[in-house]
Amino acid sequence: MSANLKIISDLKNFIALSQSDSELKNLFTTSAKHFTRKRKLHFEQVVLILLNFFKKSYDIEIAQFYDLIGTGECSVSKSAFSQQRLKIHSLFFKCLNMVLVDSFYIHYQDALKRWNGFRIIAVDGSTAYLINKEEVTGHFGTHGNQRGTVTLGRILSAFDVLNNITIKTDLYPINQSEQKIAVQWLPSYHADMLLVYDRAYPGFASIFHHQNKEQPQSFLMRCPVGFNNEIVSFVKSGSNDAISTFKANKGAVSELRSQGFIVPLGTDIPVRLIKVVLDDGTTEVLVTNLFDKEKYPYIEFKELYFMRRGIETRFGSLKNQLQLEAFSGQKVETILQDFYITFFLSNLQEIISKPTQPKITEVSLKRKYSYQINKNTALGLMKNRIVNLFISSQPEEILVQLQNLFSHYLEPVRPNRKVPRIKKLKRRAGKYQALTNYKRAM
């Protein structure tokens, strides 16, 4: 509880500082003249309205907010709110999530879950369906085929799978490469992070960048079995664990040269190859720079790699439960605001729920299955309470209330449960689609 109180305090201080400090204010607003006078919709109020799971119509959300803060009737129009929110750069909400993540790692440092001392960070991408407006399409681009085109954005996220926190995320034009973005992110990672990638990310240039940081960045990548001659030979061999080398070909040399690195043709990079056999008998190859076979035994790598499924689950939660693609505005900047806010709220819910884990563990011991918080319900319960959390002089009461509610709504975790994945064509018309696995909580 004390850790969460400190985190909320850090967030409130950052919001207050962002409107009082001239340098931050110039960074986060579109003009130094904005939010200089005490208006009905000042900086903090606009921020809190947007943070309050802003999914309904503007009129409803604004009216509910003013009811919550107890100021009686609201004479603020949706037009006024639209103008005020556009005065705040989306960068503010991106930085707000960064403050949340940094504060979490500081105040939970003794309780962090690790694997052999590492924070396990899954890096993966997805896409987001965007609004078909000229400004949005011009910025993010389109993707399509003979059936038509849609406006899409490219998502990349880095997710701490053991602590369930998205440490970094961004939304890019659809034509940008996930692999190139992932390499650009390398300087932001710490030495105690082990980066886990799926088979879309391996490449000589990528491995070169991981190995040639000032302090090499630990990684684990799933590699296509026909990726290069070394992988093909390894798959054919009887070995499950081997040290090998990848050599720079013309494509890798050219790619690295375009990035400012002169690497001679045939340059070697040492790698460790791990062969794993999936439940269906399929052979997969993992590539890593964890060379110490005693400290990192072969037997642990299959489970380690599949920890990355946590990021896929998180993408599902963001899109289905938090309605990531239900944007509240029709401009690039409002879309980016909503995007960063969605990840912030997902992280905040996860952090608030941390103190409930001992109680959930106690419940699980008395039942057939282990239990976990029903995330969909938990997110719905945060609606409106999040405003009170930030404006209350005693946020501890709100945190206790939320934690008690979270621990009341649990669902079983059924081990080894596998549901056949049936892909269906999405309906191209209509505002809402009927899904069988959850009901909207917001």
Confidence of residue 98 (pLDDT cuts 50, 70, 90): very high
Positive or negative torsion for Cα 331, 333, 336, 342: negative
81 pLDDT tier (thresholds 50, 70, 90): very high
Distances (CA, A) of 49 to 52, 55, 359, 400, 403: 5, 11, 32, 22, 22
Quick: pLDDT tens for 190-239. 999 999 999 889 999 999 999 999 899 999 999 988 889 999 999 999 89
CB 303 within 8 A of CB 310: no
Give one word for 172, left, alpha or beta, with left for phi > 0 and alpha for psi -120 to 50.
beta
Q: Which of 106, 94, 91, 92 is nearest to 7 (CA)?
A: 106
Kindly report the number of other CB atoms within 10 A of residue 433's CB atom.
7
| Pairing between β-strand 268-277 and β-strand 283-288 as defined by DSSP bridges | antiparallel
Domain boundaries, the chain: 2-91+327-413, 114-311
In terms of Cβ atoms closer than 10 Å to its own Cβ (0-12, 13-18, 19+), residue 394 is exposed
> Quick one: pLDDT at residue 183?
94
d(CA 113, CA 118) in angstroms, rounded, equals: 9
Question: Which pLDDT tens digit goes with each residue over 396-409?
Answer: 999 999 999 999 99
How high is the pLDDT of residue 430? 46
pLDDT digits (tens, 9 = 90+) for 122-181: 999 999 999 999 999 999 999 987 778 899 999 999 999 999 999 999 999 999 999 999
Each residue of 320-373: pLDDT tens digit?
Answer: 999 999 999 999 999 999 999 999 999 999 999 999 988 888 888 888 888 899
Rounded to 10 deg, the angle between the 332-353 and 43-51 helix axes is 70
